[in-house]
């Protein structure tokens, strides 16, 4: 490819709406352009990267027996009604009607489509295991599309679905995909850590997310430095600590105190000169229409996913001001468990609290010395809090550490949620009809490419790992006007091309500084510079993008040196 012909308009200035480095660099390096919020057009260099990531994924999916299919983007509402998700999916789903008024959506995911496909063909245990995957656009009307390809509304996903006749089969499919994911991300040049995760709306219980650790990540991951434990904060388990010592604590007298204007835990603990961990936060929720209260320690935050699971409810929302007033008799900020006639659900950390500060269900009033059982009764204790860095590891004695992560992939054991709802059954060895057992496995292709940039860049631009670089090498003559340089560059370009190296020749009549800047910005792993002086000495310069190392190599050895450098897919 000649640089003069390549449609890759680079930008010197950083576009104003780009917040994180991968987004900025993808725009600046001319990999893509924005069409609408969360919707992007790929330009030739960007598309080459995407195709390379896809190809790595494809190879690894094929290696575990995956068969590639291509499912429709336009999906009929009826299938989603069968699974119950037409109503559940909410505003994230792009919905449309055809000319007859029939309802469709643009696929945000493909469990329904694939289950419908398989139910009419798979009838016997002999037809399984079956692993089908596709690489295709997904559509989700995200509340906050941002960070370029990280959170798009139209984005490319690889999604695989496995079908097995028993749980052992599902186990095999799951761990095969899990291991393939580790290989995929490693081959793309990023380390992705598997962490225990929440399965969200998709269903099932066992699931792992693959996280690339980066400050720009939207997820919080907790991991134990002493054991293998790692989990998304959505999932991370709080430890139930047994009461220490036999001594009966001294229970103070329950008393009301005036706390004018103090509503938040910070304000109250400052006002009463107590620690946040001596206060109880009382949060009112509406769960499937019923008002309930959840209690967590003042220095803790509630994890709504855990609360929702405990209650087994479909909808869960923080109560609004009016509901709070009706239920407590006080405005927001003064709710407390004493004499509150609502079902109370409390986090384990509340179990051993003594003489707590709580809201008094009265404007500008709190209570001190509130004690469990004596002053209020809890309907159920559970792990309800959001685990924080510094908390105990649920598996060992260690203390958890926190890091931000980019979720590049997720694997789920779905079980029979979709097959049961949609009637995808088979006959087992004994002729007994059973629902097929499913798993699903997604990778964000664009998000992975963006994560690669987050982990591979410097102040000059992208540093592509060879495996996903749009081209391997750029040949840069210092001056195209110098005939010797032009000729030597052309020769090297031809030679590299013939040797199967993906190469660009920067044949533009630009100043060398401009060409070098573009080469660094786009991030070609190798640059070969051809200048008058080195040519006279029969040499060219090979510059390695990652290390900026410069090798002066005799002209006749340049192509073979380049090939050798690229050989391992990684430049050392």
What is the rounded distance in angstroms from the CA atom of residue 221 to the CA atom of residue 406?
9
Residues 83-112: x where in contact with ligand ATP by CB under 6 A, - otherwise, as a string: --------------------------x---
The DSSP element (H or E) to which 566 belongs, if any, is helix 555-567
Residues 6 or more apart whose CB falls under 8 angstroms from that of 304 comprise: 316
DSSP structure string for 368-379 = EEE-BTTTB--S
- Which CB atom, from 147 or from 381, has the smaller least distance to ligand ATP? 147
241: alpha, beta or left? (left if phi > 0; alpha if psi -120 to 50): beta
**Joined tokens for residue 471:** 């081209």
Smallest separation (angstroms) from Mg ion to the CB of 177: 14
155 binds, among Mg ion, ligand ATP, none (CB under 5 to 8 A by kind): ligand ATP
Size of the site for ligand ATP (CB under 6 A): 16
Q: 3-class SS at 132?
A: strand
435 binds ligand ATP (CB under 6 A): no
H/E run at residue 267? helix 265-272
Binding residue for ligand ATP (CB under 6 A) from 164, 407, 454, 518?
407
By a kind-dependent CB cut-off of 5 to 8 A, residue 527 interacts, out of ligand ATP, Mg ion, none, with: none
Residue 229 beta carbon to Mg ion: minimum distance, rounded to whole angstroms? 19
What does the chain come to in residues?
572
Nearest 10 degrees: CA dihedral of 555, 561, 563, 565?
-140
In the bound state with ligand ATP, the residue whose beta carbon lies nearer, of 393 and 406, is 406
Binding part of the chain for Mg ion, among 73-81, 407-415, 454-462, 494-502 by CB under 5 A, reads 407-415
Residue 410 is a binding residue for ligand ATP (CB under 6 A): yes
**How many angstroms separate the Cα of 170 from the Cα of each of 62, 463, 485?**
17, 39, 60
Beta carbon nearer to ligand ATP, 119 or 140: 140
Least distance from Mg ion to the Cβ atom of residue 248, Å: 48
Q: How far is the CB of 316 from ligand ATP (least distance, A)?
A: 18
Q: Residue 216 interacts with ligand ATP (CB under 6 A)? A: no
Cis peptide, bond prior to residue 129, ω within 30 of zero: yes
Whose CA is closest to 524, among 569, 566, 564, 464? 464
> Minimum distance between the CB of residue 209 and Mg ion, rounded to whole angstroms?
6
Span 446-465, contacts to ligand ATP by CB under 6 A = 446-447
Whichever of 162 and 410 has its CB closer to Mg ion, that residue is: 410
C-beta separation of 296 from 347 below 8 A: yes
Residues 49, 57, 132, 157: which binds ligand ATP (CB under 6 A)?
157
Q: Nearest distance from residue 91's CB to Mg ion, in Å?
A: 18
Beta bridge partners of 159: 134, 442
39-42 vs 32-36, strand pairing mode: antiparallel
* Nearest CB to Mg ion, comparing residues 23 and 151: 151
> If we measure between CA atoms, which residue out of 453, 451, 473, 474 comes closest to residue 464?
453
> Is there binding between residue 442 and ligand ATP (CB under 6 A)?
yes
- Give the residue carrying structure tokens 């329950």: 254
Which residues sit opposite 367 in a β-bridge? 256, 358
408 binds ligand ATP (CB under 6 A): yes
Query: Strand (E) positions, 311-427?
Result: 316-318, 344-347, 356-359, 365-370, 380-382, 401-415, 425-427
Pick the binder of Mg ion from 361, 410, 419, 456 (CB under 5 A). Answer: 410
Among positions 141, 142, 237, 557, the unique one binding ligand ATP when judged by CB under 6 A: 142
Give SS3 for 401.
strand
Query: Does 31 sit near ligand ATP (CB under 6 A)?
Result: no
- 232 scored as a contact of Mg ion (CB under 5 A): no
Q: Which does 405 bind (CB under 5 to 8 A by kind): ligand ATP, Mg ion, none?
A: none
| 259 in contact with Mg ion (CB under 5 A) | no
72 alpha carbon, distance to own chain's centre: 24
Please report whether residue 155 would count as binding ligand ATP according to CB under 6 A: yes
Which of 222/475 has CB closer to ligand ATP?
222
* Stretch of 64-72, 88-96, 182-190, 403-411 contacting Mg ion, by CB under 5 A: 403-411
Query: Of the listed pieces 14-22, 52-60, 172-180, 408-416, which binds ligand ATP according to CB under 6 A?
Result: 408-416
Are 282 and 358 in contact by the 8 Å Cβ rule? The answer is yes
Token pair of 246 as six digits: 């036999």
Q: Are residues 360 and 336 in contact, defined by beta-carbon separation less than 8 angstroms?
A: yes
CA–CA separation, 275 vs 370, rounded Å? 15
Nearest-angstrom CA–CA distance, 60 and 441: 13
Measured from the CB of residue 26, what is the shortest distance to ligand ATP in angstroms?
13
CB of 219 to ligand ATP, least distance (A): 7
Under rule CB under 6 A, residue 32 binds ligand ATP: no
Nearer of residues 210 and 493 to ligand ATP, judged by Cβ: 210
Binding track, positions 111-140, relative to ligand ATP; x by CB under 6 A: -----------------------------x
Chain positions contacting Mg ion, by CB under 5 A = 410
Which residues contribute to the site for ligand ATP (CB under 6 A)? 109, 140, 142, 151-152, 155, 157, 407-410, 442-444, 446-447
């Amino acid at each position: 490819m000649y640089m003069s012909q390549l449609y890759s308009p680079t930008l010197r200035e950083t576009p104003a709406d780009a917040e994180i480095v991968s987004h900025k660099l993808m725009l600046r390096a001319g990999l893509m352009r924005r069409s609408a919020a969360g919707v992007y057009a790929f330009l030739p260099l960007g598309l080459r990267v995407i195709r390379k990531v896809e190809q790595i994924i494809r190879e690894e999916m094929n290696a575990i027996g995956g068969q590639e299919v291509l499912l429709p983007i336009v999906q009929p509402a009826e299938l989603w009604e069968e699974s119950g998700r037409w109503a559940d999916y909410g505003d994230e789903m792009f919905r449309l009607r055809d000319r007859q008024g029939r309802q469709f959506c643009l696929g945000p995911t493909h469990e329904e489509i694939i289950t419908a496909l398989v139910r009419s063909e798979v009838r016997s245990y002999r037809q399984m295991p079956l692993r089908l995957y596709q690489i295709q656009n997904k559509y989700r009307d995200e509340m906050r599309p941002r960070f370029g390809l990280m959170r798009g509304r139209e984005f490319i996903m690889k999604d695989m679905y496995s079908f097995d006749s028993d749980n052992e089969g599902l186990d095999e499919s799951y761990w095969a995909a899990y291991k393939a994911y580790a290989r995929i991300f490693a081959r793309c040049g990023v380390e992705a850590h598997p962490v225990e995760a929440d399965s969200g709306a998709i269903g099932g219980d066992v699931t792992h997310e693959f996280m690339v650790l980066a400050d720009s990540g939207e997820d919080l991951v907790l991991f134990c430095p002493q054991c293998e434990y790692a989990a998304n904060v959505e999932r991370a388990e709080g430890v139930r600590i047994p009461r220490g010592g036999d001594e009966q604590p001294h229970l103070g007298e329950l008393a009301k105190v005036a706390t004018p204007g103090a509503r938040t835990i910070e304000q109250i603990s400052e006002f009463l000169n107590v620690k946040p961990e001596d206060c109880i936060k009382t949060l009112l929720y509406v769960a499937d229409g019923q008002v309930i209260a959840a209690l967590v320690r003042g220095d803790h935050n509630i994890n709504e996913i855990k609360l929702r699971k405990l209650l087994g409810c479909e909808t869960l929302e923080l109560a609004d001001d009016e509901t709070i007033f009706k239920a407590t008799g006080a405005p927001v900020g003064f709710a407390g468990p004493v004499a509150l006639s609502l079902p109370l659900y409390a986090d384990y950390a509340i179990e051993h609290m003594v003489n707590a500060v709580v809201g008094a269900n009265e404007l500008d009033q709190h209570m001190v010395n509130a004690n469990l059982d004596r002053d209020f009764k809890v309907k159920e204790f559970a792990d309800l809090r959001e685990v924080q860095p510094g908390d105990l590891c649920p598996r060992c004695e260690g203390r958890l550490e926190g890091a931000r992560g980019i979720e590049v992939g997720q694997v789920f054991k779905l079980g029979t949620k979709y097959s049961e709802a949609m009637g995808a059954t088979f006959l087992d060895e004994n002729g007994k009809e059973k629902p097929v057992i499913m798993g699903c496995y997604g990778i964000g292709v664009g998000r992975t490419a963006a994560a690669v940039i987050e982990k591979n860049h410097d102040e000059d631009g992208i540093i592509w790992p060879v495996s996903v670089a749009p081209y391997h090498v750029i040949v840069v003559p210092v001056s195209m006007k110098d005939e010797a340089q032009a000729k030597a560059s052309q020769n090297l370009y031809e030679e590299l091309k013939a040797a199967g190296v993906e190469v660009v020749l920067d044949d533009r009549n630009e100043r060398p500084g401009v060409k070098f800047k573009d080469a660094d910005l786009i991030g070609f792993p190798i640059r070969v510079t051809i200048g008058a002086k080195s040519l006279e000495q029969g040499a060219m310069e090979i510059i390695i993008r990652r290390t900026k190392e410069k090798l002066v190599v005799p002209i006749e050895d340049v192509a073979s040196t380049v090939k050798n450098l690229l050989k391992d897919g990684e430049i050392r």
